[in-house]
Amino acid sequence: MQPIKDIIICGGTHGNELTGVYLAKKHNWLLANPAAAALCRRYLDRDLNRCFALSELKSRKNSSGELTRAKEINLLLGKKGTKTAPDLILDIHNTTANMGITLILSSKDPALLAISKVIATEFKDVRIYLQPESREESPYLGTVAKRDICIEAGPQPHGTLNAELFFKVERIVFRFLELVEAWNNGILPKIGNKIEVFAEIRNIDYPRDAKGNITAMVHPALQGRDFCKLKAGMPVFMGFDGKEILWQGKVCYPAFINEAAYYENGVAMALTLPAKDA
């Protein structure tokens, strides 16, 4: 196994997710979207974290705003899909959902899974989330590197700071770097399979009328219950008239419940299941 040496830490890929913005400023890490951060907005033109598919990075079409920035970052870091790409990117995000610290992996990379499991035993409220991606066409910034991890910290309203989460994420990043070194030296503590890994299945949208207007909200009984078991018959949404909408699908464990930034994407929550072989 090749050692993981060339590591990029970045924040502010979304300009209003202030844990990453201010950690990047404090430590001189990569501030991914400074233009959006200056205005405390998620993005200006389009979501920077949806601009890193290889076909987009390579396209010669005139680009503006975030796509130009994505191409700039790709060149700066060493080009996605090539030998000069960094070994690892750690990208720091916030979520308004009650997800604690969620370490999102885009593949079952053995090194990152093993390191994340150690982190999950050492820190409270840490979960591992598997979001398998086809690396080449994945639009996420982290996929510029050979492997990546996204650190989601919540619940935190976008555009605000939370001192507890700020220092917790900072500690986790530095511990992560130590554990990468331990991995490189073959001395990473072994944790086994007692840490649960949640694998993303699909997203679900809010109930909507024929015009696309949302007709129900996340049910109060589900709000804040990220990574808890959802079974058929349990309430999921509540209409503006107070009528309950009950879950009719299979057992799952929702996350990103009521994430503010996903309203525009038609996502009310992401459904996950414990991964069997992670």
State the residues that interact with Zn ion by CB under 5 A: 14, 17, 93
Q: In what order do the strands lie in the sheet with 253-255?
A: 30-31, 7-11, 88-94, 147-153, 101-105, 126-130, 197-204, 269-274, 253-255
C-beta of 4 vs 259, nearer to Zn ion:
259
How far apart are CB 94 and Zn ion at their closest, in Å?
A: 6
C-beta of 17 vs 226, nearer to Zn ion:
17
C-beta of 14 vs 146, nearer to Zn ion:
14
How far apart are CB 95 and Zn ion at their closest, in Å?
A: 7
How many angstroms separate the CA atoms of 95 and 262, rounded?
Answer: 10
How many angstroms separate the CA atoms of 221 and 237, rounded?
Answer: 9
How many angstroms separate the CA atoms of 180 and 242, rounded?
Answer: 50
Beta bridge partners of 149: 90, 105
**What string of H, E and C letters represents the secondary structure of 53-118?**
CHHHHHCCCCCCHHHHHHHHHHHHHCCCCCCCCCCEEEEEEECCCCCCEEEEECCCCHHHHHHHHH
How far apart are CB 36 and Zn ion at their closest, in Å?
A: 11
How far apart are CB 191 and Zn ion at their closest, in Å?
A: 27
Select from 106, 184, 198, 179 the least CA-distant residue to 145: 106
- Burial zone of 229 (CB within 10 Å; 0-12 exposed, 13-18 middle, 19+ buried): exposed
C-beta of 7 vs 260, nearer to Zn ion:
260
Q: What are the angstrom distances between the C-alpha of 243 and each of 22, 67, 136, 189, 247? A: 42, 43, 44, 50, 13
How far apart are CB 276 and Zn ion at their closest, in Å?
A: 28
The closest residue (CB) to Zn ion is 93
C-beta of 31 vs 230, nearer to Zn ion:
31
C-beta of 15 vs 254, nearer to Zn ion:
15
Amino acid sitting at position 113? L
How many angstroms separate the CA atoms of 151 and 107, rounded?
Answer: 14
CB distance 223 to 216 below 8 Å: no
How far apart are CB 140 and Zn ion at their closest, in Å?
A: 10
How far apart are CB 92 and Zn ion at their closest, in Å?
A: 8
C-beta of 14 vs 219, nearer to Zn ion:
14
